[in-house]
Amino acid sequence: MLERIEEIRSEAGTAIEAAPGTAELEGLRVRLLGRKAELTTILRGIADLPQRERGKVGAAANRARQELEALLERRAADLDAAELEARLAVDRVDVTLPGAPARPVGHIHLITRTTRQIEDVMVGLGYRVVEGPEIEHDYYNFTALNHPPGHPARMLQDTFYVQSHPDVLLRTHTSPVQIRALEVQPPPIFMIVPGKVYRRDSDATHSPMFHQVEGLAIGEGITMADLQGTLSEMLQAIFGEGREARMRPHFFPFTEPSVEFDVSCFQCEGSGALGDGSRCNLCKGIGWIEVGGAGMVDPTVLGFVESSGYDPERVQGFAFGMGVERIAMLRHGVPDLRRFFDNDVRVLGQFR
Ligand SMILES: [Zn+2]
């Protein structure tokens, strides 16, 4: 019996080494160690052997079984590696080739595109594009813009503050960049500030993060007529030839006087009614659409940067600002501002 076990072990060892592939090896495993294998039968029959043979035969059969298991495992690992190598050689993929079919190339987000269009208009008018930090000091976001501590205007905007630093916040408007720019550049200054701003707001026309563009012009002899002309030029570039700009009295802490400005409705040509006589839904029959806020820079604001050359007795100017999402919604008929940030390609893909 012991000799037979040794024979099985030796023959099996040779067969395992010679197995050409994992499939053949698996067949060998069943034949050598399966339920009907000779070695299995021997192990199963040990109890029936004479008492004095049981120990030796049992030990030899078990050792043989363990050896064969180890040989099978090692050969399987070798074959796996060899077969993987072979597969890799055959399936080599050139990842630099275009996919099939080629995927469409991405495009600029509508908000970025709208921002750039506004920038282009203003750069054409001689303005410079300036950017600033989104995490801002209370001083730049409020105080230097004529919102002293406790001023009720601070309550107009729901602000995100940094918990551990109560004087640090996410800017609620792009206006702090005005102060930062005025601190380092003497007059005259003509600048436009695009960027993200943050307020605690979320509904169809508000998102906690949105984009503003604002403009600032300061020099000698700048008047409200210049503001009207600039707005008119800008709104025609954005909304089309022939559009008119209109200003209405309003309040902002950092401008005096302050206005809101409208553009004549581009859907009903300012008449408030559509061709079939029905009320224009875009301007709600008014003929004008609100676009943003503006005004003459409050001399108090210039007082904060007087040391940089902004003597309120000598220079003056205007500022205006608007939400980029609102412009994009108006121009493209998007009903919900939040869709811009859902990153749904079915929505974004419409605005190439
Ligand atoms: Zn209209």
pLDDT in tens, 10-24: 888 888 988 888 888
**Is 161 within 8 Å of 168 (Cβ atoms)?**
yes
| 245 shares its domain with 197 | yes
| Alpha-helix runs per DSSP H in the chain | 2-18, 22-33, 38-45, 51-90, 110-124, 138-141, 176-184, 224-239, 299-303, 324-332, 345-348
- The verdict on residue 97 lying in a domain is no
CA of 280 to the centre of ligand 1 (A): 4
- The verdict on residue 100 lying in a domain is no
| 169 shares its domain with 72 | no
d(CA 308, CA 238): 34
Which pLDDT belongs to residue 156?
Answer: 64
d(CA 14, CA 10): 6
**Tokens 């197995």, residue located:** 19
Q: Report the amino acid identity of residue 331.
A: R
- The verdict on residue 98 lying in a domain is no
| 272 shares its domain with 322 | yes
158-167 per-position pLDDT tens digit: 889 998 998 9
From 90, 119, 150, the end of a domain falls on: 90
CA of 295 to the centre of ligand 1 (A): 25
From 60, 90, 120, the end of a domain falls on: 90
CA of 259 to the centre of ligand 1 (A): 21
| Alpha-helix runs per DSSP H in 96-172 | 110-124, 138-141
Which pLDDT belongs to residue 96?
Answer: 81
**Tokens 């120990």, residue located:** 55
CA of 112 to the centre of ligand 1 (A): 26
**Is 255 within 8 Å of 297 (Cβ atoms)?**
yes
Total domains present in the chain:
2
CA of 264 to the centre of ligand 1 (A): 8
**Is 289 within 8 Å of 240 (Cβ atoms)?**
no
Which pLDDT belongs to residue 158?
Answer: 84
| 67 shares its domain with 184 | no
Tokens representing 219? 């020099």
CA of 121 to the centre of ligand 1 (A): 24
CA of 239 to the centre of ligand 1 (A): 13
Specify the CATH number for the domain of residue 318.
3.30.930.10
CA of 269 to the centre of ligand 1 (A): 7
212-268 per-position pLDDT tens digit: 999 999 999 999 999 999 999 999 999 999 999 999 999 998 999 999 999 999 989
CA of 283 to the centre of ligand 1 (A): 4
From 62, 90, 118, the end of a domain falls on: 90
**Is 258 within 8 Å of 266 (Cβ atoms)?**
no
| 203 shares its domain with 285 | yes
Give the number of C-alpha atoms closer than 13 A to the C-alpha of residue 149, restricted to the C-beta side: 4
28-38 per-position pLDDT tens digit: 888 888 888 88
Q: Report the amino acid identity of residue 243.
A: R
- The verdict on residue 103 lying in a domain is no
| 86 shares its domain with 115 | no
| 181 shares its domain with 312 | yes
| 146 shares its domain with 32 | no
CA of 271 to the centre of ligand 1 (A): 7
| 83 shares its domain with 159 | no
- The verdict on residue 312 lying in a domain is yes
CA of 333 to the centre of ligand 1 (A): 13
The mean pLDDT value of the chain amounts to 91
Which pLDDT belongs to residue 157?
Answer: 64
CA of 326 to the centre of ligand 1 (A): 16
CA of 266 to the centre of ligand 1 (A): 6
Which pLDDT belongs to residue 57?
Answer: 87
Alpha-carbon torsion (88, 92, 96, 102), positive or negative:
negative
Which pLDDT belongs to residue 150?
Answer: 80
CA of 135 to the centre of ligand 1 (A): 38
| 250 shares its domain with 309 | yes
Query: Could you tell me the residue range of the domain that residue 52 belongs to?
Result: 2-90
d(CA 128, CA 70): 76
| 28 shares its domain with 169 | no
Which pLDDT belongs to residue 51?
Answer: 86
Q: What parts of the chain have a pLDDT lower than 70?
A: 102-103, 152-153, 156-157
| 167 shares its domain with 38 | no
- The verdict on residue 327 lying in a domain is yes
Alpha-carbon torsion (345, 332, 259, 130), positive or negative:
positive
Which pLDDT belongs to residue 153?
Answer: 63
- The verdict on residue 153 lying in a domain is yes
- The verdict on residue 226 lying in a domain is yes
